[in-house]
Structure 1
Amino acid sequence: MNITATTVSLTVDDVIASRDFLVTHLGYQEKAAADGFASLSRGEAAVDVVLLRRGIEVLPEDQRDQRASGLILAFTVSDLAGVLSRLESEGVAVTMPLREEPWGERLFQVTDPNGVVIQFVEWVTPAAG
């Protein structure tokens, strides 16, 4: 098997709201769009994102009414403090404040207009205990 790309597909109520959030605050670019659909990419190591409007008929019938929930879209970044500062200056509400876990994970979370949780992570050397 040769995996050539990774894409996460999220079913949301308002495709435009999530698209605008990802484009404005995370630097994604729209690659394709149609009614109830948007395909986004950053052109780097970040995962591509496809947004589908809940209820859209291209989904199998048993998936149409589901929403993206219980999912955390996590991005590992190299300047966590800088990302946090920029997002706050852009008016993005931080929904889980910056914290550091004992195993060396520093992280914070924001939530897009459709309730999609987006986590930013930076790995550091854990403090000696």
Structure 2
Amino acid sequence: MQVTATTVSLTVDNVARSRDFFVDHLGYQERMAADGFASLHRPDAAADVVLLRRGIEVLPPDQRHQRAGGLILALTLADGIAEEERRLRAEGVEITMPLRQEPWGERLFQITDPNGVVVQFVEWADSAAGSAAAENDA
């Protein structure tokens, strides 16, 4: 198997609000859009995001009315996490979990989009800790 891209598909109530949030604040670009659908992309290693309106008929019946919930879209940054948090605050984005450092070396903070999608920014404070964590996840 050869994976060429990673895409997260999120079912939300208002596609336009999430699309605008991801484009305006997170650097995503809209690739395609139609009624109840938007495909978003970043030119770096971030996962692509597909937004689907809740109830849209392209989804199987048992999935149509679910919302993106219990999911965290985590974006790992090379550096500059404190600056990123300041930038988002300055843009008026609510920081729903302030920047903190975990004992294992992970620095992180969270924001939440207008549809409740949680986006977490992560940076490894100690590159050895980050490498060890990545190896443990593999």
- Measured against the shorter chain, the TM-score band is over 0.9
Structure 2 counterpart of 1:49: 49
1:35 is matched by which residue type in structure 2? D
1 CA distance for matches of 2:28 and 2:55? 24
Structure 1 counterpart of 2:74: 74
Structure 1 counterpart of 2:113: 112
**1:78-89 mapped onto 2 (5 Å cutoff):** 78-89=79-90
Structure 1 counterpart of 2:59: 59
2:80 is matched by which residue type in structure 1? D
Structure 1 counterpart of 2:122: 121
1 CA distance for matches of 2:102 and 2:46? 23
Structure 1 residue 73, shift from structure 2 partner: 0.4
Aligned length: 126
2 CA distance for matches of 1:110 and 1:46? 16
Query: Structure 2 length normalisation: TM-score?
Result: 0.90
Structure 2 counterpart of 1:31: 31
2 CA distance for matches of 1:43 and 1:95? 26
- 1:44-73 CA-to-partner distances (Å, cap 9, x unmatched) read 101000000000000000000000000000
Point out where structure 1 has 5 or more consecutive residues left out of the alignment.
Answer: none
Aligned residues with identical type, % of pairs: 72
2 CA distance for matches of 1:87 and 1:64? 32
2 CA distance for matches of 1:84 and 1:43? 21
Structure 2 counterpart of 1:101: 102
Point out where structure 2 has 5 or more consecutive residues left out of the alignment.
Answer: 130-138
In terms of fraction of residues, the more helix-rich structure is 2
Q: CA RMSD in A?
A: 0.8
